[in-house]
Chain A
Amino acid sequence: MTVLVALPVLLPLLAAALSLVAGRAPRVQRALGVLVLTAIAVIAGVLLKEADNHGPVVLQLGGYAAPFGITLVADRLAALLLLVSALVTLAVLIFSIGQRITDYGRHTASTAFHPMYLVLCAGVSLAYLTGDLFNLFVAFEIMLSSSYVLITRRTTADRVRASMTYVIVSLASSLLFITMIALVYAATGTVNLAALPEKIAALSPGVQTSLGLLMVVVFGIKAALVPLHFWLPDSYPTAPAPITAVFAGLLTKVGVYALIRTQTLVFVHDVGWTVLLVIALLTMLIGVLGAIAQNDLNRMLSFLLVSHIGYMLFGLALFTVLGLAGVILYVVHHITVQAALFLVSGLITRHTGTVSLQGMSGVAKAYPVIAVLFALPALSLAGIPPFSGFVAKIALLQAGAQVGTAAAYAVTAAAVLTSLLTLFAVTKIWVGAFWGKVSEPHQDPDPDDEVTVGTGSTSTGMLVSTGGLVAVSVLIAVFAGPLSAMSERAAADLLDGSAYRAAVLGAEGSG
């Protein structure tokens, strides 16, 4: 059973190597990618069941005992997120195949897409499963370096400028990450997440706070918290839709996951952390206001993404079981919904040939299926009952009201306001893109790039994968009861932490 924990990392890495070798046979590459991602989804499901019934599944790599070797841990939270991520990456891969971006343009044969995409998946899996801080850094680097390649596959002046910002900001945050690891090691002598809490608790409060804040900054850049969000709306929209979808759905959430993991497991907070609450409030409001000011579909969605990262931070900053359970629900809901919205944006662009809201109209009349596929996740994002966003938001609002301090109430109010403004933003997209007279498709602005747009048609693969993701987000709402019970158990685990420590360090370390 414990070997299963290594597979979500090993399988995509090996498949990436094979995929590179099979570069001349696109069919083999496609089959390999779909097969491996399906396998990860199944393994994640098994791990989730095991972790839920019998506690965290732990694998000590190379047989070294815990605080010295590399540890992989699948507890409830990690397994749940692994499952959702695998489903999203699978849907996006099918979408990419349907859109034929995997084949790269119409003139050059590029073999890079599939291997890089699989490496990205390996990095995401490793980030969820890793049990030590340095390994988390390696996971981030695996994930980011493949994302650099994916975002710069076509090097036009515009894409190079945007991806330059992305690469440099990510690198700067990675260097801060190394610095943080060095400081943690100098202070405690270990980087194992399970062994850290005891050592950290022995440090002076000043050192504890500064290490904690440095972690917030490092993961805050990756997760795009205001005021560290500026790079995201600038760089994400330049990539083709499916790549943006996987970035928006997963990369920022891995940052949020790292934040949750370190702030609950490593640092022990008894009460809410006001600084985090303030950042959460700013992130929600600035993000959504930024979205309303845009007239480009993808930039709007990117700003909405920033705004909704604020919700996750809000629940984390409360440090209660209810708050964390809300965050877990929210992350699960948001990964699927945000990825689905970016895929729909890809569908719209494919039809209309433009991302400007002023340039398109009448999509609802011309392609009613796309209108339905957009409406469901968009309403869910805004938190309209009975969709998954409502379930997750109501959990967070309840948690905020339960804490009951002035700061918590203020952020709760801001969360409600942001929800309304989100509704306004998606209405703006709806009015701009879906209503009105059916417009002629625009010419493909860059006929040489990897995406054909403005065809006025769509492919089955694109529709099926987007529909699948939307269906998953509806299923989240249908199974909200068991899911929220599960996330409450996961949240209780997180705040307690002893189950995790006992599983990693053995019985004697559980104290």
Chain B
Amino acid sequence: MTVNITMAIVLAGLYTVGLYLLMQRSLMRVILGIVIVGHGANLFLQVAGGPPGQPVFVGSAVLETMVDPLPQALALTAIVITFALTTFLLALAYRSWALLGHDEVRDDVEDRRIRLAEREREDGEESESETTTSFEAPEAGEEVPR
């Protein structure tokens, strides 16, 4: 199979941009990252089918010049799935924005707990009064300082 260099570069670009966005703090950028990697993956399925050729209809072209139809079917399915899930993700992001008033991805409970314990320990070392390694999980919904 010959390699289509333009497609290779486009794919590399889509994956790079998408994965970079995935690692951002803002929820909107994360979703855009998912969308762009999704496009990259669907395009990749297409490219995996080999170079372009004639449409696949019986008797319309010689068999050897026809394009491989299977990756197109696969890509179509994958596009539908990524499309549906993107919609769901957007709805969830909207709900998150409506509830929290910002679209930043919050740290998980564990991270917040460790940071709190760390901060308490530092305070304890400064005042040298009480022992401060109590691992109390923050209550649900409680705002913990970053």
With contacts A141-B81, A234-B109 known, is A157 near B48, CB below 8 A?
no
> Is the CB of B106 closer than 8 A to any CB of chain A?
yes
Give bound CA distance, A183 to B42, whole Å. 12
The reply to whether B140 and A158 contact each other, CB–CB distance below 8 Å, is: yes
Residue of B nearest to A155 (CB): B95
Chain A window 94-118, contacts with chain B (Cβ cutoff 8 Å), 1 for yes, 0 for no:
0000000000000000000000000
Among A149, A189, A230, the most chain B Cβ lie within 10 Å of the Cβ of A189
CB distance from A69 to the nearest CB of B (A): 11
The reply to whether A164 and B92 contact each other, CB–CB distance below 8 Å, is: yes
Interface 9-residue window, one of A32-40, A173-181, A320-328, A451-459: A173-181
> Is the CB of A509 closer than 8 A to any CB of chain B?
no
The reply to whether A356 and B34 contact each other, CB–CB distance below 8 Å, is: no
The reply to whether B141 and A234 contact each other, CB–CB distance below 8 Å, is: no
- Chain A contacts for B141, CB-based, 8 A: 156-158
- Chain B contacts for A158, CB-based, 8 A: 140-141
Q: Which of A294-313 contact B (CB under 8 A)?
A: 295-296
Among B42, B68, B85, B135, the most chain A Cβ lie within 10 Å of the Cβ of B85
Give bound CA distance, A445 to B142, whole Å. 13
CB-contact partner of A145 in B38, B88, B105, under 8 A: B88
The reply to whether B30 and A165 contact each other, CB–CB distance below 8 Å, is: no
Q: Which of B67-117 contact A (CB under 8 A)?
A: 68, 70-71, 74, 77-78, 81-82, 84-85, 88-89, 92-93, 95-96, 99-100, 105-106, 108-110
CB distance from A31 to the nearest CB of B (A): 29
The reply to whether B30 and A234 contact each other, CB–CB distance below 8 Å, is: no
The reply to whether A178 and B44 contact each other, CB–CB distance below 8 Å, is: yes
The reply to whether A171 and B85 contact each other, CB–CB distance below 8 Å, is: yes
> Is the CB of A138 closer than 8 A to any CB of chain B?
yes
Q: Which of A154-198 contact B (CB under 8 A)?
A: 155-158, 160-165, 167-168, 171-172, 174-175, 178-179, 181-183, 185-186, 189, 191
CB-contact partner of A168 in B1, B89, B110, B140, under 8 A: B89
With contacts A134-B74, A138-B77, A296-B137 known, is A172 near B44, CB below 8 A?
no
CB distance from A195 to the nearest CB of B (A): 12
Count of chain A residues with a beta carbon within 8 Å of a chain B beta carbon: 42
With contacts A152-B92, A233-B110 known, is A186 near B48, CB below 8 A?
yes
The reply to whether B45 and A181 contact each other, CB–CB distance below 8 Å, is: yes
CB-contact partner of B37 in A152, A162, A175, A186, under 8 A: A175
CB distance from A346 to the nearest CB of B (A): 18
With contacts A160-B92, A168-B89, A172-B34 known, is A182 near B44, CB below 8 A?
yes
CB-contact partner of A185 in B48, B81, B84, B109, under 8 A: B48
Give bound CA distance, A306 to B135, whole Å. 22
Using a Cβ cutoff of 8 Å, how many contacts connect chains A and B?
A: 107
Q: Which of A211-250 contact B (CB under 8 A)?
A: 230, 233-234
The reply to whether A172 and B37 contact each other, CB–CB distance below 8 Å, is: yes
- Chain A contacts for B17, CB-based, 8 A: none
With contacts A234-B108, A295-B137, A296-B137 known, is A167 near B92, CB below 8 A?
yes
Give bound CA distance, A296 to B136, whole Å. 10
- Chain B contacts for A134, CB-based, 8 A: 74, 77
With contacts A141-B81, A175-B34, A175-B41 known, is A163 near B137, CB below 8 A?
no
With contacts A141-B81, A445-B140 known, is A171 near B89, CB below 8 A?
yes
Residue of A nearest to B46 (CB): A182
Give bound CA distance, A179 to B34, whole Å. 13
> Is the CB of A148 closer than 8 A to any CB of chain B?
yes
CB-contact partner of B41 in A165, A178, A296, under 8 A: A178
Among A137, A141, A152, A185, the most chain B Cβ lie within 10 Å of the Cβ of A185
Give bound CA distance, A167 to B78, whole Å. 17
- Chain B contacts for A185, CB-based, 8 A: 45, 48-49, 70-71, 74
CB distance from A194 to the nearest CB of B (A): 16
Give bound CA distance, A360 to B82, whole Å. 43
The reply to whether B96 and A161 contact each other, CB–CB distance below 8 Å, is: yes
> Is the CB of B28 closer than 8 A to any CB of chain A?
no
Q: Which of A56-79 contact B (CB under 8 A)?
A: 68
Give bound CA distance, A368 to B14, whole Å. 58
Give bound CA distance, A160 to B94, whole Å. 10
Give bound CA distance, A160 to B99, whole Å. 9
Q: Which 10 A-B pairs have the closest CB atoms?
A: A186-B48, A178-B41, A182-B44, A182-B48, A234-B108, A185-B48, A182-B45, A157-B99, A158-B140, A160-B96
Known: A172-B37, A182-B71. 14 other contacts (CB 8 A): A134-B74, A137-B78, A145-B88, A148-B88, A155-B92, A157-B96, A167-B88, A167-B89, A168-B30, A181-B45, A182-B45, A191-B74, A234-B108, A234-B109
Q: List 26 A-B contacts (CB under 8 A).
A: A134-B77, A137-B78, A138-B77, A138-B81, A141-B81, A155-B99, A157-B96, A157-B99, A157-B100, A160-B96, A160-B99, A160-B100, A164-B27, A164-B96, A165-B108, A167-B92, A168-B22, A168-B30, A181-B45, A182-B41, A182-B44, A185-B49, A191-B70, A293-B135, A295-B137, A296-B137
A-side residues, CB < 8 A to B, are: 68, 134, 137-138, 141, 145, 148-149, 152, 155-158, 160-165, 167-168, 171-172, 174-175, 178-179, 181-183, 185-186, 189, 191, 230, 233-234, 293, 295-296, 356, 445
